[in-house]
Amino acid sequence: MAFNIAIDGPAGAGKSTIAREVARQLSYIYVDTGAMYRAMALYFLRAGISADDEAAISAGCEQITVSLATENGEQQVYLNGENVNGFIRTEEVGKMTSAISVYAPVRAKLTQLQREMAYTTDLIMDGRDIGTCVLPQAQVKIYLTASVLTRGKRRFLELQGKGEPCSLEEICKDIEKRDHRDMTREISPLKQAKDAVLVDSSDMTVEEVVERILNIVKEKQT
Ligand code: DC
């Protein structure tokens, strides 16, 4: 059976940076499930479908194929055969993603694909519901979090680096709103699995978090 590491936690906790590095050190595949939800959101945005229109979103799910590939060590997401990596990281797509990921047909589609990958492959998968719903049998589960202010500051610096105008206060408000929606939705809400290890990265460096997780993996494998 494949060895699976599940990392869940709120937006901006550093999941993808950490998971990518842990995967590199273990020579595991890294699967960013948020990117898969983002690809679906992009489809609905392009189609002009509103996030409130549950019927259109359910019907749209039938028209969508999401797949992943790795190129030069980086995950690439394909939406109906088109590489959409360059389009899914905007604030607009982020907001739409949080809104459409509450719907059952959206989640069912991606959950099945994620389980198929994990069944045969040693991997580290990050998201919101990996330890609780997608891979309840994962050998290692981490719940990675950080304070709203820490996460807001990280996002602020990232946007500033890209030259995008932003305010820390607005970013923190958006983070709280998204956390609330992800944690209170009916299907597969973000929460710590009972058997997940809680890691608060607020006062930790990336290297410290990576080391902590690698130690947890080593303990499980011995
Ligand atoms: O990790 P991210 O910021 O790329 O995720 C974007 C949105 O996708 C997030 O607001 C919630 C949703 N998501 C989800 O519902 N389940 C997952 N496994 C991953 C992401």
More confident residue, 57 or 166: 57
* Residue with CA nearest ligand 1 atom 5: 34
Pair of tokens at residue 120: 């045969």
The protein residue whose alpha carbon is closest to atom 11 in ligand 1 is: 98
| Per-residue pLDDT, 184 | 93
pLDDT tens digits for 190-218?
Answer: 999 999 999 999 999 999 999 999 999 99
| Residue 64 confidence (pLDDT) | 96
Taking only Cα atoms into account, the Rg of the chain, rounded to an integer number of angstroms, comes to 17
Q: Confidence band (pLDDT; 50, 70, 90) for 9?
A: very high
pLDDT tens column, 88-130: 999 899 999 999 999 999 999 999 999 999 999 999 999 999 9
Four-point Cα dihedral 50, 51, 57, 63, nearest 10 = 70
pLDDT at 189 exceeding the cut of 90: yes
CB of residue 75 inside a 6 A radius of ligand 1: no
User: What backbone phi and psi angles, to 5 degrees, belong to 48?
Assistant: 70, 25
What does the chain come to in residues?
222
Assigned token pair, 92: 């607009």
β pairing state of 29-32 and 123-127 = parallel
| Model pLDDT, residue 162 | 87
Q: Per mean pLDDT, which range of 43-52, 74-83, 162-171 is the poorest?
A: 162-171
Quote the CA–CA distance of 103 and 181 in Å, as a whole number. 12
Asked whether the beta carbons of 166 and 160 are under 8 A apart, the reply is yes
Give the integer Cα–Cα distance in Å for 43 and 51: 11
Residue 181 has pLDDT above 80, yes or no: yes
Please count the CA atoms within 13 angstroms of the CA of 173 that sit on its side-chain side: 5
Cα–Cα distance measured from residue 148 to residue 171, given in angstroms and rounded to the nearest whole number: 9
Return the C-alpha torsion angle 158, 38, 209, 174, nearest 10: 50
pLDDT in tens, 25-75: 999 999 999 999 999 999 999 999 999 999 999 999 999 999 999 888 889
For residues 86 and 70, which has the higher predicted lDDT (pLDDT)? Answer: 86
pLDDT tier, 222 (very low <50, low <70, confident <90, very high otherwise):
confident
Lowest mean pLDDT among 120-124, 168-172, 179-183, 211-215: 179-183
Report the predicted TM-score, pTM, of the whole model to 2 decimal places: 0.93
Alpha helices, DSSP H, located in the chain: 15-26, 33-46, 54-61, 91-100, 104-120, 148-161, 168-184, 206-221
* Residue of minimum CA distance from atom 4 in ligand 1: 34
38 lines ligand 1 (CB under 6 A): yes
**Strands 4-8 and 140-145: what pairing?**
parallel
**Rounded distance between C-alpha atoms, residue 68 and residue 119, angstroms:** 15
Instruction: Evaluate whether 23 touches 124 at the Cβ level (below 8 Å).
Output: yes
Answer yes or no: is pLDDT of 1 > 80: no
Given the CA of residue 88, which atom of ligand 1 is nearest to it?
4
Mean pLDDT (the chain) is 95
Pairing of strands 197-200, 123-127: unpaired
